[in-house]
Structure formats: structure tokens, C-alpha cells
Amino acid sequence: MLAEEGKIVEGTVSGITNFGAFIDLGEGKTGLVHISEVADDYVKNIHDYLKDKQKVKVKVLSIGKDGKISLSIRQASVQNKKSVKPAEVDWSTGEDATRLTFDDKLSRFMKESEEKMQVLKSKSKTSGRRGNGFRNKI
């Protein structure tokens, strides 16, 4: 079978509705791309993204027992793009952030939050002494 769950295949737009597009996968198989799976952006008008007879790459999301095939253009395009994102580096400490464990990251976050809260609390105490009639409460 040409269409298997998880595979990326090429098809042709055979029909467009207000809720999605039907894609002809060949071998007599047709699947549906729901409007939410057309693009990463909000799709108000599907005609802005697809045209009849257009060739598209789709990912097969599922094949139901009834033979209905659920497809995604959005997920197919994400898999085609190789991630070239560099590793996150915390330049202030010189540490490679990808090597930190969750507990390390949480500990750092809690420490920084506490320091920021102390600064805010000290500012709110002094702002009440200025005599402006307003007190900042945190």
C-alpha cells in the first residue's frame, strides 16, 4: 500500500472544501487534510494556500478501519526542514544549556526569581516612604 501511517507521500489536490482539502494519493486512495493541518498559520481561507490539481507532500496521520485517510501538509513540511538550530548557550555563564538537567535549570530559575523578588520588594518598601500617597504591594 502506498499510504502508511507516518509516511510522507506526494499527492494531488482533488477537491477543496471550507473544512479542508481532499488529496488524491494514487492507486484509488484519497485522503483529507483538515484545514488545521494545512499550515502553521491560522488558515481562514484555504484557497489562499491550496489550488485544485496542485501537487503537495503530505504526512499520513492515520488510516481508519473504515478506510478514511487523515493527512497533514503542515507536519510533512516540518519533517522536510532539517533543524539547523544551534545548541543553546548561556553566554552569561559560558555553560552549554543543552547539557543542564531539568533540576539544574529549575534551580537556576528559582534562584534568579528569588533575587528579582527581593529587588521588587525592596523597591516597594522605599516607594511607600516617598510620601506620594501610594504603596506598591507585591
Q: Which residues partner with 34 through β-bridges?
A: 20
**Domain range summary for the chain, segments of one domain joined by +:** 8-80, 89-128
- Residues 44-59 have pLDDT tens digits of 999 999 999 999 999 9
Q: Which residues contact 87 (CB under 8 A, 6 or more apart)?
A: 96, 97, 98
- Residues 20-30 have pLDDT tens digits of 999 999 888 99
Residue among 35, 79, 42 at smallest CA distance from 57: 79
The DSSP output letter for 27 is: T
- Residues 56-81 have pLDDT tens digits of 999 999 998 898 999 999 988 875 55
The grid coordinates of residue 25 equal 494519493
State the pTM of this model.
0.55
Handedness of CA 20, 38, 66, 3 (dihedral sign): positive
The DSSP output letter for 122 is: H
User: What is the Cα–Cα distance from 125 to 99, expressed in whole angstroms?
Assistant: 39
User: What is the Cα–Cα distance from 71 to 8, expressed in whole angstroms?
Assistant: 9
Say which amino acid occupies 75: Q
CATH of 8-80, one of 1.25.40.340, 3.40.50.12780, 2.40.50.140, 3.90.180.10: 2.40.50.140
